[in-house]
DNA sequence: TGACGTCACTTGTCCTTACGAGTTACGACT
DNA sequence: AGTCGTAACTCGTAAGGACAAGTGACGTCA
């Protein structure tokens, strides 16, 4: 009978006790926790209190609960997929990227027309309500089973210059880059990484467990004069994937104060 | 009296109704939701059911609840801080990085000795249980109020070569890079980005709201022969910060199959 | 031996009741 | 007029009971 002490609410004390037991290894990763009834007896509290404590540990991502079976300690393994966010240009004018496996379309791509929002406009350096072509894909990695949502957004202005981009919705990003390069652009890219909790539709589409954030990668393809040409977005469960970048020290002349 | 329909549990239907009202703009960002008592009346359910629905919306990061005041629609603004993960080398041998503001130490750095775990060993290409020097800092950005946890891990082997690294725990990363470059290394960096829910101590240290993941950046400094010299880790709330990278197309000769 | 139904376990849902604790506004008292 | 206490709101915590629903094992029956 391990009685509980100080800090805060009862259910928090119970949660802390269980968390402690998990982190010290009393409950190994993957193992089954005591049932709610057993925890009620162990700590001398009612079932709502036990459930409240378990809900807290769930929100922390420490445990997984399965209806009819019990609560299991989540194994905090590393992400199975490392997204190498690099781009290589071959002398014949094509582009290649790692992680080609991920580009397996799990559903038919859907194309549409939309307008810039505040967020996408900021990334593309466009005003709000500018017309865009969009294409959404649901991707699946056959090796790991990871799923991802991919979105391509192309401003009308750019699409008029390179109409093939819109005519063929199945275009792979590498092919897009090639078309833009053939159009005379010198390409470079910037990518921003954000994380947030998924919306319900993202949870189901990506088959995410509880308390799992998503990585949200936004890649801008810049053309000549750093003009923003294309916005690509990739959303993927943070439990399954990590993003990897190379950083090179760009050499710059020493600054001198102007007088 | 807006009665509720189909899918799943009562509290999920209530949650869906409220979520719908938020996303359609009936409840604007920042505005006050009806109180629990009002929601009980509006949907004809008991208080636990209402609270269960609200807990679901909380876990999604859609709303913030304040004791004694009510539930507020969270405004989904962009992160205030963009971490530009670039490194610039000046001709005089020093290195500079953007976001210097973030390097304001909120507490005294703490140094210690530890050993590689499975995760850190993988990143540093070392076996497990290799000896490391560590230094932890809590950083604060004066502009945005964002907080971050910074950690530097240096293998013993590297520290023996450049002892200044360990003697002066307050060393800024840019100064570390300079010391390594002066030691004859040609530096390059790789950085991997992960996201996960915070542990309780991270939640309090970073002052994170509910349902807020953290971005976990791991930067490896590579020396000559791509040897891993230093591991830096930065943890910061994903509501306050995003990470930005540049991607350059590295040119490679076309591959030919070897016979 | 195989198939299937039942039962004992698990967690999920929902209700009622009660009180504690933070917040705010109003009104009475000084 | 200013101060302060109280009342009325808010959400937080905790208990109790009841039944639904998923899971797996066991035993019975064909």
Q: Which domain holds residue B216?
A: 81-244
Contacts of B211 in chain A (CB under 8 A): 59, 197
Mean local confidence (pLDDT), B182-186: 91
Is residue A46 one of the residues assigned to a domain? Answer: yes
Q: Are residues B67 and B136 in the same domain?
A: no
Q: Are residues B159 and B225 in the same domain?
A: yes
Structure tokens at A11: 């259910």
Confidence check: pLDDT of A14 > 60: yes
Domain termination site, one of B19, B45, B73: B73
Is residue A251 one of the residues assigned to a domain? Answer: no
pLDDT for A196: 96
Contacts of A244 in chain B (CB under 8 A): 190-193
Mean local confidence (pLDDT), B136-165: 90
- Transcribe B114-158 into DSSP letters: EE--HHHHHHHT--TT-EEEEEEEEEE-TTT--EEEEEEEEEHHH
Contact criterion met (CB below 8 Å) for A39 and A17: no
Confidence check: pLDDT of A258 > 50: no
Mean pLDDT value across chain B: 90
Total of domains in chain A = 2
Confidence check: pLDDT of A2 > 60: no
Is residue B105 one of the residues assigned to a domain? Answer: yes
Is residue A90 one of the residues assigned to a domain? Answer: yes
Q: Are residues A127 and A213 in the same domain?
A: yes
Is residue B254 one of the residues assigned to a domain? Answer: no
Domain termination site, one of A40, A73, A106: A73
Q: Are residues A52 and A95 in the same domain?
A: no
Q: Are residues B106 and B53 in the same domain?
A: no
pLDDT for A259: 39
Most confident of A59-73, B116-130, B156-170: A59-73
Query: For residue B96, what is the enclosing H or E element?
Result: strand B95-96
Mean local confidence (pLDDT), B124-146: 90
The residue count of chain A comes to 259
Any B CB within 8 A of A98 CB: no
Q: Are residues B106 and B223 in the same domain?
A: yes
User: Between these two residues, B229 and A164, which has the higher pLDDT value?
Assistant: B229
Confidence of residue A106 (pLDDT cuts 50, 70, 90): confident
Give the nucleotide at minimum CA-to-C1' distance from A34.
C10
Q: How far is the CA of A57 from the C1' of D6 (A)?
A: 39
Distance of alpha carbon B27 from alpha carbon B33, whole angstroms: 7
Confidence check: pLDDT of B259 > 70: no
Mean local confidence (pLDDT), A139-156: 92
Q: Are residues A99 and A54 in the same domain?
A: no
Q: CB distance B242–A194 less than 8 Å?
A: yes
Confidence of residue B257 (pLDDT cuts 50, 70, 90): very low
Any A CB within 8 A of B187 CB: yes
Confidence of residue A104 (pLDDT cuts 50, 70, 90): confident
Contacts of B196 in chain A (CB under 8 A): 61, 213, 238-239
Q: Are residues B118 and B226 in the same domain?
A: yes
Q: Are residues A66 and A113 in the same domain?
A: no
Is residue B170 one of the residues assigned to a domain? Answer: yes
Q: Are residues A90 and A31 in the same domain?
A: no
Q: Are residues A153 and A239 in the same domain?
A: yes
User: Between these two residues, A108 and B24, which has the higher pLDDT value?
Assistant: B24
Q: Is A36 left (phi over 0), alpha (psi -120 to 50) or beta?
A: alpha
Say which CATH number the domain at B51 has: 1.10.10.10
Is residue A2 one of the residues assigned to a domain? Answer: no
Q: What is the pLDDT of residues B58-78, one digit of tens each?
A: 999 999 999 999 999 999 888
Any B CB within 8 A of A188 CB: yes
Mean local confidence (pLDDT), B45-57: 96
pLDDT for B57: 97
Is residue A1 one of the residues assigned to a domain? Answer: no
Say which CATH number the domain at B231 has: 3.40.1410.10
Q: Are residues A108 and A45 in the same domain?
A: no
Share of chain B above pLDDT 90, in %: 71
- Taking C1' of C20 and every protein CA, the nearest residue is A9
Q: CB distance B190–A122 less than 8 Å?
A: no
Any A CB within 8 A of B211 CB: yes
pLDDT for A253: 58
What lies within 8 Å, CB to CB, of B165 at 6+ separation is B133, B154, B158, B159, B171, B176, B179
Q: How far is the CA of A217 from the C1' of D12 (A)?
A: 38
Q: What is the pLDDT of residues A19-33, one digit of tens each?
A: 999 999 999 999 999
Domain termination site, one of A73, A90, A109: A73
User: Between these two residues, A101 and B12, which has the higher pLDDT value?
Assistant: B12
């Amino acid at each position: 009978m391990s009685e509980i002490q100080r800090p805060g609410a009862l259910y928090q004390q119970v949660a802390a006790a269980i968390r402690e037991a998990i982190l010290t290894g009393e409950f190994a990763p993957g193992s089954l926790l005591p049932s709610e009834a057993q925890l009620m007896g162990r700590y001398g509290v009612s079932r709502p209190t036990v459930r409240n404590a378990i809900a807290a540990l769930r929100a922390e991502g420490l445990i997984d609960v399965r209806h009819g079976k019990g609560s299991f300690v989540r194994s905090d393994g590393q992400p199975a997929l490392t997204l190498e966010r690099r781009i290589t240009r071959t002398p014949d004018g094509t582009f290649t990227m790692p992680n080609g496996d991920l580009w397996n379309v799990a559903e038919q791509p859907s194309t549409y027309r939309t307008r810039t929002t505040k967020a996408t406009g900021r990334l593309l350096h466009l005003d709000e309500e500018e017309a865009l072509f969009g294409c959404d894909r649901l991707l699946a990695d056959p090796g790991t089973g990871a799923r991802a949502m991919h979105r391509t957004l192309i401003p009308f202005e750019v699409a008029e210059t390179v109409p093939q981009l819109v005519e063929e919705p199945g275009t792979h990003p590498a092919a897009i880059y090639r078309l833009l390069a053939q159009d005379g652009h010198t390409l470079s890219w910037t990518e921003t990484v954000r994380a947030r909790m998924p919306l319900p539709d993202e949870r189901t589409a990506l088959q995410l467990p509880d308390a799992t954030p998503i990585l949200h990668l936004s890649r801008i393809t810049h053309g000549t004069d750093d003009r923003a040409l294309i916005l690509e977005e990739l959303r993927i469960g943070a439990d399954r994937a990590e993003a990897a970048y190379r950083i090179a020290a760009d050499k710059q002349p020493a600054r001198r104060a102007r007088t």
